[in-house]
Chain A
Amino acid sequence: MAEAQLCAVKRAYLEYEEFANSKLCGRCLPCLVAAPLVFDLLNRLQKGRANKRELEELRFLAQGVVLTARCKFGQEALEKLGKSLEEAALEFEAHCEGNCPQHACPELIRYRIDPERCTQCDLCRALCPTGAIIGDPYVPYSTDNHPYFILAAKCNGCGVCVSACPENAIELV
């Protein structure tokens, strides 16, 4: 579910990566030096670790390379990036605040277990690859078993628990 969707940031990243792996030659300076910067900034955005200022840096890069790069491949790659920066400005800004509106960036996804629907079957906790889910399995008539809960700091947003839950009790925040 999470892999199927693309947000503007992820799309921009993939497009740029394709350019970097095929056309980027390194024989003129702007592309060559801008590439690691672009990758770095887009990565940070996807992880919610970028701020507004870094978004500015990205805009500056896009404009500058379009102005100075030698070939049309280099110019077009950054022109595309510039266009998505403009068209999806809100989405990019949301990433700066740590939200991915499309819920496509795994690092920015937050899940929550609805205690009303949870039957404490323990399936999600057993499957979680990062051990982010805590809670006690259901014991009839016991009163002190803890409800299931996702630790946001450990969760990597992989979505295994969501697809595994028989009760559809795990939802996106």
Chain B
Amino acid sequence: MSPRYAFEKSLAELQQDILRMASLVEQAIYEAVESLMKQDVTGAAQVIMGDEMIDNLYLEIEDKCVKLIATQQPMARDLRVAITGIKICLSLERMADHAVDIARATMCLSGQPFTVKCLEYIPQMGRLARQMVKEGLDAYVNSDVQKAREMCALDDEVDYLFARMFRELVGNMEEDPRTVVQAAYLLYVSRYLERIADHATNIGEAVIYLVTGERRELN
């Protein structure tokens, strides 16, 4: 047994915990977008309630990282692993909060059939955001800088969709003032999705910092 056995083991556990949290966040984003599109209030309520679990997991992981630094006093890359752990789960927690924001919007929009036209952008943005979370975590687990960069490039697509959606929603509002409330909520939703993608690029930056020790702005 290597003298670093305990340390290696807790690092592996930390990684598993982060993956667990990421899978929950990915699911929350999916459910939030899905329940918005289907106007499914129960689904939205589940997303809101599920956030507590993600928050608890976040605190747990943060505690583990702090304990790791305090008891093992890691150096260089090992230290960066612990620090990156904190950064990534912080980003994930923010994403989950945005998923909750989307679910809240769903609640507010319940019972009003959509009359605006640019709905198809939302699932597209949701899909991209989830893909970014997934690939960001893949990059983290495999310490894959290349993958982290590729993932961050997806952010441009999300930004593009956000810009288009913004233009079209504003157009909708100008055309038909009755859609203003709905369009305003959907504007928020697209903004939340865009923020989720931004948090995903933070994960990518954290991975690059983990592997190379460099700080690189990828957004």
Question: Is B truly associated with A?
Answer: no
B interface list, Cβ under 8 A from A? none
